[in-house]
Amino acid sequence: MEGVFPAIITPFKNNSVDYEGLKKNIDFLIENGVNGIVTVGTTGESPTLSYEEHNKVIEKTVEFVDGRVKVIAGTGSNSTREAIELSKFARDVGADALLLVAPYYNKPTQEGLKRHFVKVAETVDLPIVLYNIPSRTGVNIAPETVKFLYEECSNIVAIKEANPNLSHVSEIISICNIDVLSGNDELTLPIIALGGKGVISVLSNILPKEFVDMVNYALKGDFSRAREIHYKLYNIMKLMAVETNPIPIKTAMNMLGMPAGELRLPLCEMSQENRLKLKKALEDIGLLKS
């Protein structure tokens, strides 16, 4: 699994999912050369989607993509049974792969993580991307666990690695051949330099072509050109984490007139101070007129 996979936002209008806006955003991304679409992940505000909304967003994403690129559906849960149910639905409506976050809040042991992922992988025969984001889940998927899962389950093919410790990434790549995708935009280039294959990206919701170019240059070994893009975007990459994701990216999309809409509580609007920083960053890279 290689390239740029935007973790798309879920646009809302009057507290309902804006499916017309969802289609518009998907078309924009595909027209700009992304390799796939990741739907109902963290950036898609999956924790505040109802079960019915979650499934419908997956179904409509598959419909709107219409086979042009791969659809990776976020179907992780802190309940193994629920993760299986979501994954079966995604499979049945035509998703190409699954994104499975480490179970959150209940903080399983490494043995519990192994059993959880193996159970889903054995039950739903789709390619699986593990998702390691210890800052949100409270548990880190250890490199040895990643190796075990990759070797045990033929359909566990990649990991979205959002542990910012590059030694952790290096250890994974050194002990197994799983495809590593960056889960942090600003670490995309360093992770590819270590042997990673691309990124599941937040900022590519508004800058898909730039991310596609950066990743393609890096994968071809043209790090000089890749660095130019990395540093051009570096400030706004950092601003994507100035408040909890997806607050900054949805704020930026609304500033740019793209379908995004409101955030759902407990997430709320960006502070005025950070809005001004974001506005200036969008002006600096030429997306907004000053």
pLDDT digits (tens, 9 = 90+) for 123-136: 999 999 999 999 99
152-171 burial, b if ≥16 CB within 10 A, otherwise e?
ebeebbbbbbbbeeeebbeb
Residue 214 lies in a domain: yes
Residue 103 lies in a domain: yes
d(CA 118, CA 193): 30
Residue 79: pLDDT band with limits 50, 70, 90:
very high
84 is in an annotated binding site: no
CB hemisphere CA count around 85 (13 angstroms): 10
Which pLDDT does position 167 carry in this prediction?
A: 96
Residue 62 lies in a domain: yes
For residue 91, is pLDDT > 90?
yes
pLDDT digits (tens, 9 = 90+) for 20-45: 999 999 999 999 999 999 999 999 99
Annotated catalytic residues are 131, 160
Residue 262 lies in a domain: no
pLDDT digits (tens, 9 = 90+) for 46-61: 999 999 999 999 999 9
- Tallying the residues shown for the chain, one arrives at 290
Q: What is the mean pLDDT of the chain?
A: 97
d(CA 95, CA 107): 28
Please provide residue 6's backbone torsions phi and psi, each rounded to the nearest 5 degrees. Answer: -60, 130
Range of the structural domain that residue 105 is part of: 3-220
Residue 227 lies in a domain: no
Domain count, the chain: 1
Residue 73 lies in a domain: yes
Summarize the confidence of residues 221-232 as an average pLDDT.
97
CATH number of the domain encompassing residue 48: 3.20.20.70
Of the candidates 145, 144, 189, 137, the one whose C-alpha atom is nearest the C-alpha of residue 163 is: 137
Q: Helix 80-92 and helix 51-65: axis angle, to 10°?
A: 30
For residue 290, is pLDDT > 90?
no
d(CA 220, CA 229): 15
* SS (HEC) of 35-70: CEEEECCCCCCHHHCCHHHHHHHHHHHHHHHCCCCE
Question: What tokens were used for 8?
Answer: 């798309």
Which pLDDT does position 289 carry in this prediction?
A: 85
Backbone angle region of 39, left / alpha / beta, with phi > 0 → left and psi within -120 to 50 → alpha = beta
Task: Look up the pTM and report it.
Answer: 0.95
Residue 93 lies in a domain: yes
pLDDT digits (tens, 9 = 90+) for 155-212: 999 999 999 999 999 999 999 999 999 999 999 999 999 999 999 999 999 999 999 9
Residue 109 lies in a domain: yes
